[in-house]
Amino acid sequence: MAGLILFATAANAQTAQREAADAALVDRLKDAVVKELRDSGAIDRAVDAGIGRYVERQRAEAAERERRAADAGAKAMRPVSDARDHIRGNPAAPVTLIEYSDFECPFCKRFHPTVKRLVDESNGQLKWVYRHFPLDEIHSKARKEAAASECAAELGGNDAFWKFADRFYELTPSNNRTGIDAVLPRIAGEIGLDKARFAACLASGRHERRVAEDVQDATASGGRGTPWSLVVSKGGKTYPLSGAQPYAAVRQLVELALEKK
């Protein structure tokens, strides 16, 4: 019995030694493989690929969330109306770009000629709808300027509104530095409006409600800053457009919307 016990003990010891040796061998092999992979750059490439796939998934998920938010915003957004909205371009155009803008926003100033160029070059395929989104917390003058543009529309129609907007962005420096007491009547005179009637309209405050409604509409549609735009296809497919995107990027969205009948 004692001999059996000694034999078993010795066998167990040998097994433990073999397992320890095997484990040490595995560790050495592992270290060697890792070193080879590291030296060859394979690990770095694998890590980079993994990070790349992760980033792409995150981007795709973010784009999908933005698309869902845009679809929800489009449903909440006020429908375009020829009677109420300021429209530039062919009113029957299959694609609509709805912009929510702030007259004191430097990015809106930059974006304005971009959209104008797109409409001019669209051969009647794109119309531009301008709605107000004054950011009161940083641009205290923007709401009054929006009301002034509505006075221009009241006195001179849709063309006068767009002339006012074009000239305002040409003349003013943005970021709440506009001397509105001098600039607003100057623009009114330049575009052929009666200055006295323009001043009376602005003093009445009668367009403040409309501006406030546009702000509510901007927020409901998903707007958080300016310019905030939505490109809408004839079939109602909506593409969000945040910020003063370059001409090529906006054109790409417009062309995509044209394909979605």
Domain boundaries, the chain: 77-259
Q: Which two tokens stand for residue 62?
A: 């973010």
Q: For residues 91 and 87, give the distance between their C-alpha atoms in angstroms, rounded to a whole number.
A: 7
Which CATH class for the 77-259 domain? alpha beta
Mean pLDDT of 224-235: 96
| φ, ψ at 233 (rounded to 5°) | -80, 170
Q: Give residue 54's pLDDT.
A: 77
Output 26 or 133, whichever has higher pLDDT. Answer: 133
Q: For residues 238 and 260, give the distance between their C-alpha atoms in angstroms, rounded to a whole number.
A: 10
Mean pLDDT of 63-87: 79
Q: Give residue 39's pLDDT.
A: 85
Q: Which two tokens stand for residue 151?
A: 């006075």
Q: For residues 197 and 151, give the distance between their C-alpha atoms in angstroms, rounded to a whole number.
A: 9
Q: For residues 137 and 215, give the distance between their C-alpha atoms in angstroms, rounded to a whole number.
A: 13
Output 165 or 9, whichever has higher pLDDT. Answer: 165
What does pLDDT average to over the chain?
89
Q: 166 with 112: CB under 8 angstroms?
A: yes
Q: Give residue 144's pLDDT.
A: 98
Does 158 score more than 90 pLDDT? Answer: yes
Q: 238 with 255: CB under 8 angstroms?
A: no
Q: 178 with 167: CB under 8 angstroms?
A: no
Pairing state of beta strands 95-101 and 228-232?
antiparallel
Mean pLDDT of 54-80: 74
Residue-wise pLDDT for 16-25, tens only, equals 667 666 777 7
Q: Measured between alpha carbons, how far is residue 212 from residues 17, 117, 209, 218 in Å?
A: 82, 28, 5, 10
Does 134 score more than 60 pLDDT? Answer: yes
Mean pLDDT of 34-46: 81
pLDDT band at 36 (very low <50, low <70, confident <90, very high): confident
pLDDT band at 157 (very low <50, low <70, confident <90, very high): very high
Q: 244 with 110: CB under 8 angstroms?
A: yes
pLDDT band at 71 (very low <50, low <70, confident <90, very high): low
Q: Measured between alpha carbons, how far is residue 143 from residues 139, 178, 212, 213 in Å?
A: 8, 13, 9, 12
Mean pLDDT of 35-48: 80
Q: Give residue 6's pLDDT.
A: 47
Beta bridge partners of 230: 98, 240
Q: 229 with 241: CB under 8 angstroms?
A: yes
Mean pLDDT of 206-225: 97
